Structure 1
Amino acid sequence: MLSATELAWFSLAALVLVLTPGPNMIYCVSRTLCQGRAAGLVSLAGVLLGFVVHLMAAALGLTALLAAVPFAFDAIRLAGAAYLLWLAWQAVKPNGTAPFEARLLPDDPPAKLFSMGFLTNLLNPKVAMFYLSFFPQFLHPERGSVLLQSLALGAVQIGVSGAVNAMLVLTAASITAFLSQSEGWLRAQRYVMGSVLAGLAVRIAMTDRK
């Protein structure tokens, strides 16, 4: 249903999402630094379950929207491009947020770590906006079920997010120690992410969807 090029672009978008500083990354890294890798992985499991909820809501919602108002996809596409430009500005603006600026948290049992990870993601508007911004760019009703296409894209995104966040959790202490001594790396990360987000926004806005 989806071409290799489309999957590559979507994988890049998913990678940008997970590497862009946000509540999910900060929570998992903070838990890891405060309680260790096991706590970070339990927290990540909760975050991934939150992705599943976002995915189902977006997939079902977009499927219903296409059936009711087909031309609304273009409106969502352009709104998504505008949102990505806003994210790009948030990354490069003066005093913008950088990753691995973890906050101190008290020790919590595994059940609470999992539930807090789940709620952190569930209440994260960046995730919901990602699905609503990017899914319409890669969905092709003429190729079959929109719901199945959405679920396939969601599986890619959750896989990318899980793999990258797991790597960050396992190496959080080392990465934090390195980045804390190099403000240049922190600035570079922000500008790279901002540039990629802006480039994706322009590509989306300029794409002619028949």
Structure 2
Amino acid sequence: MLPTDTLLLFALAALIMVMSPGPNMVYLISRSLSQGKEAGVISLFGVICGFLFHIVMVSFGLTAIFFAIPYAYLTVKVLGIGYLLFLAYKAVKSGKNDLFSADRTLKNDSKIRLFHVGFLTNVLNPKMAVFYLSLFPQFIKPEYGSVLTQSFQLGVVQVLISFSVNFLIVIFAARMSVWFSRNPSWAKFQRWFMASVLTGLAVKMAFTKAR
């Protein structure tokens, strides 16, 4: 079992990531604005199931890699550092916020289709799998027990935080969209803050001793 301080640190990283506008947030806001809160919530459940899919695949993958390949942790660690620094660079370089261009004119879809599109929006985003592979290893330690169990613990924390934040976004989609559009300085601050956190995580990973 992971210690509380480790889970809290991971929760902070997960919170900052979910607050960063991306395909999931843009889709949820678009659906909420065009078809109402119920459609947004149904789409959100699809997105959450997409998270669960990635978490299961990454958790079993990490477990297999760590036990099957010598120095696998070091390899994943180096790749993770590089990816986190790349995300930090992209966060600063991005000059626009796709949140402001959310499509308010989407056609009305059935509940089943809303769920499916939300699910596929997340599942078909390869960046999610790479993100989990980059972030999970720096919080997992074999001395805490099963790698698989630890991966699921981190996954549960990430899903709970993502659901909570995105649920509030769905409920207040219109107001949040207007507020963000009227406060462009917040978008700039958010990008730099996110870049700083990602860089910090990369540094932390770099100085974490190999298992």
In which range does the TM-score fall when normalised by the shorter chain? over 0.9
Is 1:177 the equivalent of 2:178? yes
1:63 and 1:190, CA in 2 relative to 1: closer, same or farther beyond 3 A? same
**Comparing 57-66 with 135-144, which one deviates more in the overlay?**
135-144
The code of the aligned residue for 1:83 comes to: Y
Q: Once the two structures are superposed, what CA deviation does each residue of 1:25-78 show, in whole Å capped at 9, x if it has no partner? A: 111111111111111110000000011111110111111111101411111112
Aligned equivalents of 1:101 and 1:166: distance in 2?
A: 20
Instruction: Please name the residue that 1:10 is paired with.
Output: 10
Equivalent residues, number: 210
For residues 1-210 of structure 1, what are the structure 2 equivalents within 5 Å?
1-104=1-104, 105-210=106-211
Aligned equivalents of 1:188 and 1:100: distance in 2?
A: 16
Shift of 1:130: 1.8
TM-score, normalising length: structure 2: 0.93
Aligned equivalents of 1:98 and 1:206: distance in 2?
A: 34
SS in 1 for 2:201: helix
Output the aligned Cα RMSD: 1.5
Kept in 1, the 8 Å contact 2:32–2:38? The answer is: yes
**Comparing 185-194 with 39-48, which one deviates more in the overlay?**
185-194
Shift of 1:131: 1.2
TM-score, normalising length: structure 1: 0.94
1:47 and 1:154, CA in 2 relative to 1: closer, same or farther beyond 3 A? same
SS in 1 for 2:101: coil
Q: Once the two structures are superposed, what CA deviation does each residue of 1:152-210 show, in whole Å capped at 9, x if it has no partner? A: 11111111110111011111111111111222122222222222112212221222234
Aligned equivalents of 1:145 and 1:122: distance in 2?
A: 26
The code of the aligned residue for 2:54 comes to: H
Aligned equivalents of 2:4 and 2:144: distance in 1?
A: 15
1:209 and 1:5, CA in 2 relative to 1: closer, same or farther beyond 3 A? farther
> Any runs of at least 4 consecutive aligned residues in structure 1 with deviations exceeding 3 A, and if so which?
96-101
Aligned equivalents of 1:154 and 1:111: distance in 2?
A: 25
Shift of 1:94: 5.0
SS in 1 for 2:87: helix
* Structure 1 residues not aligned, in runs of 5+: none
1:48 and 1:74, CA in 2 relative to 1: closer, same or farther beyond 3 A? same
The code of the aligned residue for 1:60 comes to: F
SS in 2 for 1:76: helix
* Structure 2 residues not aligned, in runs of 5+: none
